[in-house]
Amino acid sequence: MSAFNLHAIGAIYKFELHRFARTLLTGLFVPAITTSLYFIVFGSAIGSRMTEVNGVPYGAFIVPGLIMLSMFTESIFNASFGIYMPKWSGTIYELLSAPVSPLETVIGYVGAAATKSMIIGLVIFATAHLFVAVPIAHPVAMIGFMALIAVSFCLFGFILGIWAKSFEQLQVIPMLVIMPMTFLGGAFYSIDMLPPAWRTVTLFNPIVYLISGFRWTFFGHGDVSIAVSMACVAGMLILCLGVIFWMFRTGYRLKS
Amino acid sequence: MTSILSVRALSKQYASGHKALGSIDLDVREGEIFALLGPNGAGKTTLISIICGIVNASSGSVTVAGHDIVSGYRAARATTGLVPQELHTDAFERVIDTVRFSRGLFGKPRNDALIEKILRDLSLWDKRSARIQELSGGMKRRVMIAKALSHEPRLLFLDEPTAGVDVELRRDMWDVVRGLRDSGVTIILTTHYIEEAEEMADRVGVIRNGDLILVEEKTALMRKLGRKTLRIALSEPLAAVPAELAPWVVTLIDEGHGLEYIFDTHSEETGISQLLGRLAALGIGYKDLNTQESSLEDIFVSLVHAPRGEAA
């Protein structure tokens, strides 16, 4: 056998994508319809009465935030579910007894979940294009940023899936923490619009830096500098990898 | 014969403080069927789980085909297949997909001919496109065996393979296991059906309270610990055992219509002829005699109920 179990990565990756394919209808149509609804309400009904934000029409301005909002929650849901289900159903025995390293396991599960997140992000982008013209200042950076966000949040979801002991715990973090932080993190507004005191409070929300960075790839400017945003994504990536490494090394909630 | 599995001073204490395994030493030979017997909670599943990498050992070492299960986990695990006790399956997957998945997970390239053979051997080929949730319990068990065999393991663990399986299916399962052994796979099965061990095993290990209290060739075990019971049906009932029969420790059965004498088959002198001679001398007539060999079950019950240290 080769030193690196590529067959196992492929098997896990395919298994997970197969799982997504079974729920393709809800998996892709829901984000597309949700995006359309956002555009009808925010873009057309309210947006038409709003002025431009930093020289960008409001309808286009909210596109990066919308993509991020869906990608954050979808990444966490998909990755956490992917590893939580075998734990819950008991089929994890096979993964634990297989000649698979932690790294290979993570690449398989997180890779598949991140792939799905990327597809969802692009579906939302395409849907948005039906309503408004969205310029992209830095296309390569935009795709790269999306991929980094997908991987980071899927890693975070993977941790959540290992940690969770119930379906409820699985939902708590994305619904009660990430969703509010995203709404308050400038998904639909520039934090420059806030009173100075609130702006300062908002800067403690790490999501601000992620959305700002993604918006930079579209319009060439964000609420904070792109370097700070990149550092924030890199920090999250490293933190999650560290936690996962620790979880596998100690067998946390996987092995007794 | 060489050992495919070597367990040395293996112990396990769970975080809760429960000591599941004392200090286990065990060698399993390549090509045999080894039955691990023991009551529920004795530590059978814990032992298997450690060998397969699902549970971490507290101390001790295990090698599979010469590979340490920690430092050489890839080679050790690639050699091993596991069919756990519980029916853990992916309900929505198709049978053939789940078996292919297992092969990939264990690092082997796709091999449709082999998967077809495994599915046919297990009578699953007709069900290959069925979703696992549509299958009966017995069929699900077969799917789990197919998954465990998909990467061509040399060592296969079957944890309670026939628990909750009806009699007919149990016979089928035994045939499957014998077929595997004939193809060269070493099989370690746990069971609390003594019948199963008696029927299939080459060697038997008895585990009790986390200690392996006995490992023996099955036939030797039965010979060594085998007791026979002689039952004598009397022509006339007796009210009490005559004092003259005291040396044989006989008991009165069937309300005085019979005598029972338990003897050791491998002792020099079974005492039967003397006993029958004494009966004749006392004028006690009998119309029938029969002897019965104790089963592995009797042996097992006497072992697990014996106080620690006295067993075997």
Q: Contact, A223 vs A206, CB < 8 A?
A: no
Residues facing B62 on adjacent strands: B7
Tell me, what's the pLDDT at B148?
95
Residue A91 contacts B where some CB pair is shorter than 8 Å: yes
Tell me, what's the pLDDT at A99?
96
Q: How many angstroms away from the CA of B10 is the closest CA of chain A?
A: 15
* Amino acid of residue B187: I
Locate the chain A residue with the closest alpha carbon to B79: A99
Determine the distance from the C-alpha atom of residue A137 to the mean position of all C-alpha atoms in its chain, rounded to a whole number: 21
Cβ distance B92 to A98 less than 8 Å, yes or no, reads no
Q: Contact, B77 vs A99, CB < 8 A?
A: yes
Q: H helices of B80-232, where?
A: 95-105, 112-121, 137-149, 167-182, 194-200, 218-225
Q: pLDDT band at B249, cuts 50/70/90?
A: confident
Give the full edge-to-edge strand order of the sheet including B258-264. Answer: B251-253, B258-264, B227-234, B286-293
Determine the distance from the C-alpha atom of residue B93 to the mean position of all C-alpha atoms in its chain, rounded to a whole number: 32
pLDDT at residue B102 tops 90: yes
Alpha-carbon distances, residue A126 vs A28, A123, A131 (angstroms): 12, 5, 9
Q: pLDDT band at B224, cuts 50/70/90?
A: low
What residues contact A230, with CB distance under 8 A and at least 6 apart? A213
Q: Which residues of A touch B88 (CB under 8 A)?
A: 89-91, 93-94
- Alpha carbon distance A232, A240 (integer Å): 12
Tell me, what's the pLDDT at B228?
80
- Alpha carbon distance B261, B275 (integer Å): 9
Read off the tokens for B149: 């065999």
Q: Which of B74, B75, B84 sits opposite A93 (nearest CB)?
A: B84
Cβ distance B54 to A255 less than 8 Å, yes or no, reads yes
Surface-to-core class of residue B87, CB atoms within 10 Å of its CB (0-12 exposed, 13-18 middle, 19+ buried): middle
Q: Contact, B254 vs B196, CB < 8 A?
A: no
Cβ distance B53 to A95 less than 8 Å, yes or no, reads no
Tell me, what's the pLDDT at A164?
93
Residue B74 contacts A where some CB pair is shorter than 8 Å: yes
Give the full edge-to-edge strand order of the sheet including B67-68. Answer: B19-29, B3-13, B59-64, B67-68
Q: How many angstroms away from the CA of A162 is the closest CA of chain B?
A: 15
- Residue B235's CB is within 10 A of a number of other CB atoms, namely 10
* pLDDT (mean) for B274-292: 88
Cβ distance A91 to B89 less than 8 Å, yes or no, reads yes
Q: Which of B84, B106, B109 sits opposite A98 (nearest CB)?
A: B106
- Residue with the bigger pLDDT between A99 and B296: it is A99
Q: Which residues of B touch A97 (CB under 8 A)?
A: 52-54, 77, 80, 82
* pLDDT (mean) for A47-61: 82
Q: Which residues of A touch B76 (CB under 8 A)?
A: 99
**What digits encode the pLDDT tens for the residues A157-215?**
999 999 999 999 998 888 888 988 998 888 888 888 888 888 888 889 999 999 999 99
Q: Name the 3-class secondary structure at B140.
A: helix
Surface-to-core class of residue A166, CB atoms within 10 Å of its CB (0-12 exposed, 13-18 middle, 19+ buried): exposed
* pLDDT (mean) for A75-98: 94
* Calculated CA dihedral for residues A111, A115, A117, A122, nearest 10 degrees: 150
**What digits encode the pLDDT tens for the residues B50-97?**
999 999 999 999 999 999 999 999 999 999 999 998 889 998 999 999
Tell me, what's the pLDDT at B310?
44
Q: Contact, A136 vs A143, CB < 8 A?
A: no
- Residue A53's CB is within 10 A of a number of other CB atoms, namely 18
- Residue with the bigger pLDDT between B110 and B255: it is B110
- Alpha carbon distance A186, A192 (integer Å): 9
Q: Which residues of B touch A100 (CB under 8 A)?
A: 105, 107
DSSP letter (8 states) at residue A43: I
- Alpha carbon distance A66, A55 (integer Å): 19
pLDDT at residue B136 tops 90: no
A6 HSE (CA, 13 A, CB side)? 5
* pLDDT (mean) for B184-204: 87
- Alpha carbon distance A151, A169 (integer Å): 21
Cβ distance B101 to A251 less than 8 Å, yes or no, reads no
- Residue with the bigger pLDDT between A218 and A49: it is A218
**What digits encode the pLDDT tens for the residues B138-174?**
889 889 999 999 999 999 999 988 776 777 778 888 8
Report percent pLDDT > 70 for chain B: 93
Task: Look at strands B80-83 and B155-159 and give their pairing.
Answer: parallel
B107 HSE (CA, 13 A, CB side)? 22
Q: pLDDT band at B22, cuts 50/70/90?
A: very high
Residue B18 contacts A where some CB pair is shorter than 8 Å: no
Residue A254 contacts B where some CB pair is shorter than 8 Å: no
Q: Which residue has the tokens 């068990």?
A: B141
* pLDDT (mean) for B269-298: 83
Q: Rounded to two decimals, what is the model's pTM?
A: 0.84
* pLDDT (mean) for B114-120: 94
Cβ distance B77 to A97 less than 8 Å, yes or no, reads yes
Cβ distance B77 to A11 less than 8 Å, yes or no, reads no
Q: Which residues of A touch B56 (CB under 8 A)?
A: 251, 255-256
Residue A5 contacts B where some CB pair is shorter than 8 Å: yes
Q: H helices of chain A, where?
A: 6-22, 24-38, 58-89, 92-97, 102-131, 139-163, 167-172, 179-183, 196-202, 206-219, 226-250
Average pLDDT score, chain B: 88
Tell me, what's the pLDDT at A1?
45
Residue B70 contacts A where some CB pair is shorter than 8 Å: no
Q: Which of A1, A93, A95 sits opposite B78 (nearest CB)?
A: A1
Residues facing B156 on adjacent strands: B81, B187
Residue A253 contacts B where some CB pair is shorter than 8 Å: no
